Amino acid sequence: MKLNAAVIGVGNMGRHHARVYHEISGVTLVAVADSNPKVAKGIADKFKVRAYSDYREMLDKEKIDVISIAVPTGWHRKVALDCISKGAHILIEKPIAATVAEAKDIVAKAKKKGIKFSVGHIERFNPAVIKLKEMIEADKLGEIVTISTFRLGPTPTQIRDANVVIDIAVHDIDIMNWFFGRLPTKITACGGNALHRTHEDHVEAFLNYNHGTGLLLANWITPLKVRKLTVSGKKGYIELNYITQELNFYQSNVMPIYDDYGDFLMKFSDGQDKKTIPVKNVEPLKAEILAFVNCIKQNSRPAVTAREAIEALDIAHKINRLIK
Q: What is the pLDDT of residues 88-136, one digit of tens each?
A: 999 999 999 999 999 999 999 999 999 999 999 999 999 999 999 999 9
- Separation in Å, CA 116 to CA 36, 108, 243: 28, 12, 29
94 Cβ partners below 8 Å, 6+ apart? Answer: 119, 120, 121, 122, 170, 171, 174, 309, 312
**Rounded to an integer, what distance in angstroms lies between the CA atom of residue 324 and that of residue 207?**
17
Domain ranges of the chain: 3-115, 124-285+312-323
> Is the distance from CB of 49 to CB of 23 less than 8 angstroms?
no
- Average pLDDT of span 240-251: 96
Amino acid identity at 116: K
The answer to whether residues 86 and 58 touch, using CB atoms and an 8 Å cutoff, is no
pTM for the full model? 0.92
pLDDT tens for 40-83 read: 999 999 999 999 999 999 999 999 999 999 999 999 999 999 99
* HSE value, Cβ hemisphere, 13 Å, CA-based, for 113: 20
| pLDDT higher than 70, residue 288 | yes
Q: Is the dihedral of CA 162, 306, 7, 171 positive or negative?
A: positive
The 3 state secondary structure assigned to 110-155 is HHHHCCCEEEECHHHHCHHHHHHHHHHHCCCCCCEEEEEEEEEEEC
- Other CB atoms within a 10 A radius of the CB of residue 193 amount to 16
DSSP category for residue 265:
E
Q: 278: how many CB neighbours lie within 10 A of its CB?
A: 7
Least confident of 17-31, 86-100, 192-206, 254-268: 254-268
What DSSP assignment string belongs to 199-239?
S--EEEEEEE-SS-EEEEEEESEEEEEEEEEEEEESSEEEE
In this structure, the number of other CB atoms found within 10 A of the CB of residue 147 comes to 24
> Looking at residue 158, what is its pLDDT?
67
Residue 231's pLDDT is what? 98
Q: Does CATH place domain 124-285+312-323 in 3.30.360.10?
A: yes
Confidence of residue 198 (pLDDT cuts 50, 70, 90): confident
What is the reported pLDDT for 31? 98
* CATH number of the 3-115 domain: 3.40.50.720
CA distance linking residue 153 with residue 178, whole number of Å: 24
**How do residues 221-235 score in pLDDT, each as one tens digit?**
999 999 999 999 999
Contact assessment for residue 183 and residue 311, using Cβ atoms and an 8 Å cutoff: yes
Q: What percent of the chain clears pLDDT 70, i.e. is strictly above it? A: 93
Spatial contact of 239 and 232, defined as CB atoms under 8 Å apart = no
The answer to whether the 3-115 and 124-285+312-323 domains have the same CATH topology is no
**pLDDT class of 259 with cuts at 50, 70, 90:** low
Among the residue ranges 159-173, 225-239, 259-273, the one predicted with the least confidence is 259-273
